[in-house]
A and B are shown apart, each in its own frame.
Chain A
């Protein structure tokens, strides 16, 4: 009787092994599929991130120029020096716009680096 018991134990062990193997391969397949789909997802996200970064650069640059121009225009109104300060401040605004873009592009340091790396910008 003990012999029989042992035999059946062996059998169930083998069945268990087969089941484990089947499960393992099914898991592997699942993983492969997941990696495939997440790669496609990552590609879309990369495009979106790149676009949002591009938009960020554009808006920072344009905002610098606009702020400079509006400031110069308003100070001109106050001082009565009609076109002079508008021209000068627009120039400075352009420089500020480039400075904004440089700050996005330059590698940030310290605590900022960790946050920015995650955003991809």
Chain B
């Protein structure tokens, strides 16, 4: 198992059903992806409920972690969308914690990274964009469409500008989801490939002497992946805020 896994860097992303469930012809099996989504949700819930249960003035480790997470996201939302945007705080906070915990838990060996699946990240991005569109239309009505019509443009150019703005808007969920997915996928493949280097060098006779080099590389890469895991969750959260800001204040 060890060599088979080490040499095949894609193996870790295979979604395998753990329990086959079929509801009306739809495959609703409980897979390893579902399992780790549940794990992520439990971890976030545990942190927030147990962390805030004590309410001591001098916080313990869990409590200060929970408070830091809250204040970090709250200041991000306030800084980007203003206090008005705080009504979206639950959404942004849930997204941030889900992405962050998926990324971090995925770094542990033998785990499954939920955010390395484009389906998951695209569903998250789609949720954000649908919220923007529905809230924008509900709050501003047709005025929301001014998002696509910048003021002060020559009438002859207007159709082209509108077309470009529409393409730019549609590309948002795609870039949002692809960025997170690609970062996690690439990071995990790189780690696996470096691990395979160690195994291959060890079994290559005299070349085993330089096998510690990729091992050192893995240590450095893992530290870097930790940073990427956090930064991608942060970028996801702040872009969600920027897009929600468009829904709150359309028309630039």
Contact = CB atoms under 8 A, between A and B. Distances in A.
Given A68-B167, A115-B76, 4 more contacts: A63-B178, A100-B175, A112-B245, A115-B241
A114 interface: yes
B79 interface: yes
Which size class do B's interface residues fall under?
Answer: 20 to 34
Interface in B79-101: 79-82
Interface string B222-238: 00100110011011001
B167 A92 contact: yes
14 contacts: A44-B227, A52-B228, A52-B232, A52-B235, A92-B163, A96-B165, A103-B168, A111-B79, A111-B80, A111-B81, A111-B82, A114-B79, A115-B80, A116-B80
A112 B241 CA distance: 9
Contact of A59 (B167, B175, B227, B231): B175
A49 interface: yes
Contacts, number: 90
B140 interface: no
Contacts of A95: 164
- Main secondary structure on A side of the interface with B: helix
B224 A48 contact: yes
A64 B172 CA distance: 8
Interface string B4-32: 00000000000000000000000000000
Contacts of B164: 92, 95-96, 99
Given A112-B245, A115-B76, A115-B238, A55 B168 contact: no
A67 B232 contact: no
B160 interface: yes
- How extensive is the interface on chain A, given as a class? 20 to 34
A71 B167 contact: yes
B170 interface: yes
A97 B171 contact: yes
Nearest to A66: B174
Interface string B176-194: 0011001100000000000
B39 interface: no
A60 B228 contact: no
A20 B155 CA distance: 75
A49 B232 CA distance: 10
Nearest to B76: A115
In the complex, which of the residues B165, B170, B234, B245 has the most CB atoms of chain A within 10 Å of its own CB atom?
B170
Nearest to A67: B171
B42 interface: no
B60 to A, nearest CB: 23
Nearest to B167: A96
A63 B171 contact: yes
Contacts of B50: none
Interface string A27-68: 000000000000000001100110110011001101110111
Residue among B82, B179, B228, B241 with most chain A CB within 10 A:
B179
B81 A60 contact: no
A55 B179 contact: yes
B210 interface: no
A107 to B, nearest CB: 14
A88 to B, nearest CB: 10
B14 to A, nearest CB: 25
A99 B234 CA distance: 23
Interface string B137-175: 000000000000000000000001001110110111011
